[in-house]
Amino acid sequence: MKPILNVLFFLIVSIASAQYNISGSVTDKAGNLIVGANVYLKNSYDGSNTDHDGKFSFTSILTGNQILVISYIGFEPLELEADISEMNQLEIQLREDVNSLDAVVLNAGSFSAGEQSRVSVLKPLDVVTTAGVAGDFIAALQTLPGTQTVGEDGRLFVRGGGPGKRRYLLMV
């Protein structure tokens, strides 16, 4: 009798903990692979990044209709809603975001920013000579126009454009 209960217990546990494999590839409009795109299920911790072949794969125990979010800097985020059991071997194409803010560039030379340029350049000489930063890149980035730290989690908020055009830079 006890072996039958053990088998029944393992059967129930395996059914209750069914996992779904979410996989696919991410490209741009021209068919170029996008390496490092974020792919995750909305409102969950399940997700992954695309590898050097533009492919992603992860598992989830969620069920039913879920929203898969795909995002990458310079591209419009894409949300796909479908049953999680059908999110396998997806071929996703992202569109370029024409209103996106480019990344901050660290380069050799002097500080430059203005209306004509969408990119602010902070160079090593600026980092060393900026008062109060003592060669600290993160503190120097905070001196750029339109930047503000967000709490103590290491993110840097960059203002610009309309209210929907906010971007965060993750400082590691």
CA 43 to each of CA 18, 39, 77, 84: distance values in angstroms, whole numbers, following the listed order: 19, 12, 15, 14
Whole-number percent of the chain with pLDDT over 70 = 48
Long-range pairs, 101-107, Cβ under 8 A, ≥24: 101/158, 101/160, 101/161, 101/165, 101/167, 102/74, 103/73, 103/169, 104/141, 104/144, 104/158, 104/169, 106/137
- Residue 3 has what pLDDT? 66
What per-residue confidence (pLDDT) applies to 28?
93
CATH numeric code, 2-93: 2.60.40.1120
> Stretch 101-119: mean pLDDT, rounded?
51
Is the pLDDT confidence value at 112 over 80? no
- 126 vs 109, more confident: 126
Whether pLDDT at 29 is above 80: yes
Confidence of residue 74 (pLDDT cuts 50, 70, 90): confident
pLDDT of residue 11: 54
> Which pLDDT belongs to residue 47?
93
Q: Shortest CA distance to 54 belongs to which of 37, 70, 69?
A: 37
- Can you give the residue ranges of every domain in the chain? 2-93, 105-170
Note the pLDDT tens digit of each residue in 133-170: 555 666 666 666 667 666 666 666 666 555 555 444 44
**Least confidently predicted of 14-18, 44-48, 80-84, 105-109:** 105-109
